Each structure stands twice: as structure tokens, then as C-alpha cells.
Chain A
């Protein structure tokens, strides 16, 4: 069944025919992070795709993946473009390297999952939290619930581990 939800006033939908995204967000709705693992070459991939980008195999299995990683790069938005985000500045667009499968299949590759910096409860953070985060920050995944069937993966600072000093844009 098609998925629908509202996030910050924006309408989000996933159509019935989009079976890969239906499966991906179906797991997210249960606060589980799953990715497709290729049945042939066994590599994980993100975002959801029809074929394996590494070997073209059409068959895959959804497997649980630990939602932990470190910030690979980021953008810090001070001038919102979408009307719903104009009230949320400053906010962070975090590009995170998952710990799982980092450096594979080639040295500089990673499963890079983009989401915002949020509180552990899944709300966009305040400016002082934004200022704590940069390249290298350890983060863990949480979910923002949009509707009973649709949740968005998000990143929050992993307070359970010692944080390295992050690299930040020079002020």
C-alpha cells in the first residue's frame, strides 16, 4: 500500500509500484534500519535500487544494519530554500559514513546516508547543537515518525561514546 506522511508541513509519498522504497520505509516505520544485501556478491547498497550497482544482480535480501557512523561531510543551511525549512535554520545536512562496509568495495567508498541532525526524540536541533558537529562526529540513527506507516531516518549525536574533535568550517 502506498505510504503517506507529513513532515514539517511537507507532503511525502511513496507509490505502490516503488517496491524498493516501500520495503525500505516499511522497516523504518518499525524503527529498524534495513538495507538490501545482494544475493550474489553480498554487498550492501544505499539508496534502495532495482539492481545491484556492483554486479547487476536483481535479487537481494533486506538485512538489519547498525545505524552508527561518522560524519563524512556536511552542509549547514542558514538560508532555507523550501518554505518549511526557512523557519528551521540553521540546520545541518549530515552525510554519514556507516561503520558497516566502510572502505568497500573500494578504498574511498562507504554507505553514505544523508539526514538532518536531530534530538534523540527526532526533532531538528537548536543552533548550539549544530555548532558541536562537524566531519568526524560520531552519530547514531533515530527516526522521525510522520504517520503510522512512514518514518524518516535521522542522525543524532552519539552521546554513549567519546567524541573526537570534529573538523568544522573555519570561522
Chain B
């Protein structure tokens, strides 16, 4: 054992010791909805991730999930799949949960509570509990602290985040047509993702001509509510070597890092700065890499603006240069640092962040699920031709960063690398 492994005071001592070995999901559904329970969605996703890793029910002994009271608990998933748990926990939360739960998984494995953890999100975000806040959520009575927000029609994610987005436009001269490029680029990526819900390539005019929801957000600045189940499996790097795929190692995680005054973060300015400003000082030093070392990003796109704000505050460009960064081709497939190569929440489907981690795991395996032909070794033979309907594998990708978002004041993130 090397000296650094013994130094528990160093936050770097867990880098590369844990891995994501299995990923899986259901299809993404709208229209008539999934036609099944969140229990069924979760079971299907976990089973798909176990098969992907080559793990049996007896190999999984930990489970974590997150939801906003719109899912089914771990105990039912484990029961259905014949998994006997040594540890489980179901936490409240949406975006920015995935990376935080990866951190918890590492912690409980390190502490000896269990050996291998399945993390899932299962939701009927279109057909049951609408993530945009319509339906039952919007009709709920307004009590106590909620009088300072919901009573003013300030409730949905778009409404709650609008002051951040608008102030960024004011402070930095951000133009709607620059931010719209996030949707344009993610739609290009989605067109090369057979499982994406919205595969049509969009233009800046398509975004700006779509109806206004909550200024500055047009309809196409907003993500797509979806029914789906998604799962990732975390275990030690040692065990990862016995799994089916090339290991993808976790270099660092940040879990639900917050701005000051998180009870109502707008009290602390500048309000156009988001939690990534704080999270970056954990994420990059612990991984011992810099933003410029990162090959691909998964910057959460609940809205076009959230992708831009996080790329800025995590230091992929200078503060205020986000509008240029997201519109100059940098984050397009074939560009310097592609973002959300699956099409993300704007186009592939909304999963509260976990699908963006799954996408980067597949990218780091060099085996992303596009339409390229499968070769004799069972892996896709990527063409790196990014035209519509083509390849979406990024060439020689080694390092990825996922930038998860709960709201302007809270974020989680993770750096992974190809072993």
C-alpha cells in the first residue's frame, strides 16, 4: 500500500478506487405514457444495468434511489429481483442527486456496509407526477414558508430559476440566440441517438419562435418531461475488473454543494452565479485534473441556460463567456469538448441527471449506443461521422465531467476516467 492510500486526510485518496460497472435504462416515453408502475420501470432499469455489468442478484447488496415522492422504494426493487440487501436508502431530491448518491455509495462501500450498490431513478414524469409542476403538485395547498413563493405563482422550476437567467442576460449581455444554441447542439446529438425521444435537428429560429413559457424561457429552452427508469451500478475498481466492460473509474465527486443562504439563495449575490462556483473547488483538486483536461461534459440541461451557467462557473470558460462557449461549436460533436452527446434532458428525455452519467460511462467505454455497425467483437465500429443519423462516439475520450443541477443554489458533479 502506498503512502497516499494511508493518508485519510487527503481527499484524493479515493480517486480511481471505485468504478461504474453497469448502466441500463428503459425506453423514454410520452404520448400514452409508460403504461406501467415506477416499480416496473425501476426493476427493468436495474435488471438492464446488472446484465450490462454481467452481475447476478447475489452480486448486488446495496441500493440507493432518489425521488420527489414519485417513485417506488428500494425494498420493492430488491424483492422483485431476488436481491438481499446489506444497505439501502431512498432519498428526497431531483437533479444533482445522481453524483451525490455515487459519493454515498463510495462512502458506504469504503466503510464496509456493503460491496456493490445499484443507484436508480424511476418516474412517470410525463404520465403521473409532472416534473414541470402541473397537475396535483400545482393544486396542493400553500402553507407557511411557501407563502413567500408559491402564492405569487412562483413555483415551477422555470419560474424559480428565471431571476437567475434574466439577471445573467442583464449582467453579461447574454443574447437569446446564443443560449438557443444549447438546444440546437443537443438536438444534433439526439439525432444520432436511436433511443432519444426528440431526434429532429432544431434551429435557433425554431427555439426563438416557440411560444414563451416564462421569460426568458421559450418552450424549446425547456427539457422534456418523460416516463423512464435508469440505473447505474457502483463497485470497487478491483471488482470492476471482473465485470463485462472496460472499467470506468470515478476520480472525484461533489454532492449537493450549495451557495450561502440555501433557504432562499437569492438573498446572497451575485444571483447570476450558481453553485458550481463553489463545487469546482472540490471537484477538480480531488480529481487532480483541470477543466482543460476534460474531453466531454454532461452539463445538466433542465433548461438551455443551466448548461451555460454551469460550464461558466465550473471554469470551462471565464465568467460571462458562457454565451460564446455554448454557441461557438466547442460543445458540438466534433468540437473541442462535446456536451450531452446523448441529446440530454432537452432532447433524449428528462431523468433528473442519471442518464447524463450513463451517457458518459458509455462514451468512456468507447462503445456509445449509436447506429454504427456492431463488429465481430460485439462492439460498435464507430465511424466518427457526426452527420444526422450517424455516429456520436467521441474519439479517444479519456476524461469526463458531469455537472448536476438541482437549482441555481445547489449542484453535484463527478469526474470519471477510462481505466
Contacts and interface: CB of A to CB of B under 8 A. Distances in A.
Contact of A73 (B147, B148, B166): B166
Interface stretch (A60-68, A80-88, A156-164): A80-88
Contacts, number: 147
A10 interface: yes
Contact of A169 (B151, B169, B269): B169
A97 B359 CA distance: 41
Interface string B200-220: 000000000001111110010
A46 B267 contact: yes
A82 to B, nearest CB: 4
A21 B145 CA distance: 7
A10 B268 CA distance: 30
B147 A95 contact: no
Interface string B137-177: 01101111101111111111011001110110110000110
A10 B151 contact: yes
B166 A75 contact: yes
Interface in A46-104: 46-47, 49, 53, 72-85, 88, 91, 93, 95
Interface residues of A, number: 48
A14 to B, nearest CB: 6
A108 B268 CA distance: 7
A112 interface: yes
A13 interface: yes
Contact of A95 (B143, B145, B175, B266): B266
B151 A152 contact: yes
B147 A78 contact: no
Interface string A1-30: 000000100111111001001000100000
B92 interface: no
A109 B214 contact: no
Contacts of B134: 81
Contacts of A73: 162-164, 166-167, 170, 271
Nearest to B133: A81
Contacts of B164: 73
B213 A95 contact: no
Nearest to A18: B144
B141 A115 contact: no
B270 interface: yes
A81 B158 CA distance: 10
Given A13-B141, A170-B175, A170-B176, A82 B212 contact: no
B292 interface: no
A102 to B, nearest CB: 10
Contacts of B264: 46-47, 112
B267 A79 contact: no
A114 B152 contact: yes
Contacts of B271: 72-73, 95, 108, 112
A110 interface: yes
Contacts of B142: 10-13
B132 interface: yes
Given A79-B214, A108-B269, A49 B263 contact: yes
B214 A77 contact: yes
B220 to A, nearest CB: 13
A116 interface: yes
A51 to B, nearest CB: 11
Most B CB within 10 A of own CB, among A14, A115, A169? A169
27 contacts: A11-B142, A14-B143, A15-B144, A21-B145, A21-B147, A46-B264, A47-B145, A73-B163, A76-B214, A77-B215, A78-B212, A79-B214, A81-B138, A81-B156, A82-B153, A82-B155, A83-B139, A95-B163, A95-B266, A95-B271, A108-B271, A109-B269, A112-B271, A114-B163, A114-B266, A135-B166, A170-B176
The 4 A-B residue pairs whose C-beta atoms are closest, nearest first, are: A108-B269, A75-B162, A76-B215, A73-B163
